[in-house]
Chains A and B, each alone.
Chain A
Amino acid sequence: MNSFTLSRRNFFTGALGVGALLTTTACGSTGGNATSKITWSTWGTPEEGQRFKKFNSHFKADNPTIAATLQMVPSYSDYHSKLLTQLTSGTAPDVFYVGDDYIGKFVSAGVLMDLTPVVEGADAKVKLDDFNPALFGAGRTDTGIFALPNDCNPDVFWFDKKALAAAGITENPAELAAAGNWTIETFLAMCAKLAAKGLTGAMFWNYWSTHWSWVAANGGQVFNAAGKFVLPEDPKSVAALHSLADAFTNKSFTVADTLPDGSGADSLFVSHKAGFYVQGRYGIATAEQSGTKDDYDIAPWPTVSGKPGSSGVAASYLVINAKTKAPAAAKTFVGEFLCAKGQTLRLADGGNAVPSVKGADSVVLEGNYPAHAKSFLEMTNTGFEDFATEAKMPGLSSDVSTAMLTMYQGKTSASDTIAAVAKLMEKAV
Chain B
Amino acid sequence: MTAVLAKTGLPGAPVVERAEAAWRKRDRWWGLVFVSPQLAGMCAFVLLPFAVGLVLAFAQWDGLTEITWVGLANFQAQLADPVFLRSILNTLGLALITVPVGLALSLLIAVALDRLRGRTGYLLLYFAPVMTSSIAISLVWQQILRADGPLNQAFFRVFGIPGPDWLGDPHFVLLAVSIVTIWSSLGLNVIIFLAGLQGINSNVLEAARVDGAGSLRTMMAIRLPLLSPVVFFSTVVAVISSFQTFDVVFVLTKNGGPENSARTIVYQIYDEGFRHFQFGMASAASIILLVLTLVVTAVQLGLQRRFVHYES
A residues adjacent to B (C-beta < 8 A): 77, 81, 84-85, 87-88, 105-106, 109-111, 258, 260-263, 393-395, 398, 402, 406, 411
Taking chain B's interface residues, is the majority helix, strand, or loop, or is none over half, making it mixed?
Answer: loop
- Decide yes or no whether B171 CB sits under 8 A from chain A: no
- In whole angstroms, what is the CA distance A393 to B62 when docked? 10
* B64, A88: Cβ atoms closer than 8 Å: yes
Kindly report which residue of chain A lies nearest to residue B64, judged by CB atoms: A109
Dominant SS at the A interface? helix
Q: How far is the CB of B151 from chain A (nearest CB, A)?
A: 13
Check A87 against B64 for contact (C-beta < 8 Å). Answer: yes
Q: How many Å from the CB of A119 to the closest CB on chain B?
A: 24
Expressed in whole angstroms, the Cα–Cα distance for A393 and B259 within the complex equals 22
Q: Is B65 within 8 A of A394, CB to CB?
A: no
By a CB distance below 8 angstroms, the chain A residues around B277 are: 84, 105, 394-395
- Expressed in whole angstroms, the minimum distance between the Cβ of B13 and any Cβ of chain A is 55
Q: Footprint of A on B, CB under 8 Å?
A: 62-65, 143, 146-148, 168, 254-255, 259, 271, 274-277
Q: Are B259 and A406 in contact (CB under 8 A)?
A: yes
Query: In the complex, what distance in Å separates the CA atom of A402 from the CA atom of B276?
Result: 14
B148:A110 contact, CB within 8 angstroms: no
Closest residue of chain A to B65 (Cβ to Cβ) is: A109
In the complex, chain A residues whose CB is within 8 Å of the CB of B65: 109-110
Given A111-B64, A258-B168, A84:B146 Cβ within 8 A: no
Closest to A411 in B: B259
Residue of A nearest to B170 (CB): A411
| Given A394-B276, A395-B276: A262 in contact with B64 (beta carbons within 8 A) | no
> A105 near B62 (CB under 8 angstroms)?
yes
Instruction: Tell whether, in the assembled complex, residue A261 and residue B146 are in contact, meaning their CB atoms are under 8 Å apart.
Output: yes
Which among B62, B146, B254, B275 is the interface contact of A81 at CB below 8 angstroms? B275
Q: Contact: B62 with A109, CB < 8 Å? A: yes
Most-contacted residue by chain B among A85, A105, A110, A111 (CB, 10 A): A105
Instruction: Specify the chain B residue showing the minimal Cβ separation from A395.
Output: B276
Other than the known A85-B63, A87-B63, what 4 A-B pairs have Cβ atoms closer than 8 Å?
A85-B274, A260-B148, A261-B146, A262-B148
- Whether A260 lies near B275 (C-beta < 8 A) is no
On chain B, the residues within 8 Å of A398 by CB distance are: 275
Residues on the B chain within 8 Å of A395, using CB: 271, 275-277
Considering only CB atoms, which chain B residue lies closest to A262 in the complex?
A: B148
Sorted from nearest, which 8 A-B pairs have the closest CB atoms?
A109-B64, A81-B274, A395-B276, A394-B277, A395-B275, A262-B148, A88-B63, A84-B63
Select from chain B the residue with minimum beta-carbon distance to A111. B64
Residues in chain A near residue B275, CB distance under 8 A: 81, 394-395, 398
Residues of B within 8 A of A394 (CB): 62, 275-277
Separation of A106 and B64 alpha carbons in the complex (Å)? 8
Residues of A with C-beta under 8 A to B259:
406, 411
**Measured CA separation A134–B62 after assembly (Å):** 28
Contacting residues, chain B, for A105 (C-beta < 8 A)? 62, 64, 277
Expressed in whole angstroms, the Cα–Cα distance for A164 and B50 within the complex equals 60
CA distance A398 to B255 in the complex (A): 10
Q: Smallest distance from the beta carbon of A34 to chain B beta carbons, Å?
A: 31
Least CB distance from B87 to A in Å reads: 15
Question: A393 to B276, alpha carbons, bound, how many Å?
Answer: 7
User: Could you tell me the distance in whole angstroms from the C-beta of B136 to the nearest C-beta in chain A?
Assistant: 15
A219 vs B274: C-alpha distance in the bound complex, in angstroms? 36
User: B167 CB to closest chain A CB, in angstroms?
Assistant: 10
What residue in chain B is nearest A82 (Cβ atoms)? B274
Residues of chain B lying within 8 A (CB to CB) of residue A85: 63, 274
Q: A84 near B64 (CB under 8 angstroms)?
A: yes
B227 to chain A, nearest CB (A): 43
Contacts of B271 in A (CB 8 A): 395
Closest Cβ of chain B to A240, distance in Å, is: 25
Known: A88-B63, A109-B64, A406-B259. Contact between A262 and B276, CB under 8 A?
A: no
* Across-interface contacts of B148 in A (CB, < 8 A): 260-263
A394 CA to B148 CA, complexed, in Å: 34
**Complex: A77 Cα to B251 Cα, angstroms:** 12
Closest B residue to A406 using CB positions: B259
| Complex Cα–Cα for A395 and B272 (A) | 9
A106 partner residues in chain B, CB cutoff 8 A:
64
Min C-beta distance of B246 to chain A, whole Å: 13
Once the chains are docked, how many angstroms separate the CA of A106 from the CA of B277? 11
Can you list 20 A-B pairs with a CB-CB distance of less than 8 A?
A: A84-B64, A84-B274, A85-B63, A85-B274, A105-B64, A105-B277, A106-B64, A109-B62, A110-B64, A111-B64, A258-B168, A260-B146, A260-B147, A261-B146, A261-B148, A262-B146, A263-B148, A394-B277, A395-B271, A395-B277
Residues of B within 8 A of A109 (CB): 62, 64-65
Cβ distance A188 to chain B, nearest Cβ, rounded Å: 27
Instruction: Please measure, in the bound complex, the distance between the C-alpha atom of A261 and the C-alpha atom of B277, giving whole angstroms.
Output: 30
For residue A290, give the distance in angstroms from its CB to the closest CB of chain B: 21
Q: How far is the CB of A189 from chain B (nearest CB, A)?
A: 30
State in angstroms the CA–CA spacing of A408 and B63 once bound together: 34
For the complex formed, measure the closest distance between the CB of B244 and the CB atoms of chain A, giving whole angstroms. 19
Question: In chain A, what residue has the closest Cβ to B142?
Answer: A261
A84 nearest CB neighbor, chain B only: B63
Shortest distance between the CB of B21 and any CB in chain A (Å): 34
Quick one: closest A residue to B256, CB to CB? A402
Measured CA separation A81–B63 after assembly (Å): 10
CB nearest to A394 among chain B residues: B277
Question: Distance in Å from the Cβ of B143 to the closest Cβ of chain A?
Answer: 8
Closest CB in chain B relative to A321 CB, distance in Å? 12
Give Cα A110 to B65, complex, Å. 8
Give min CB distance, A421 to chain B, whole Å.
15
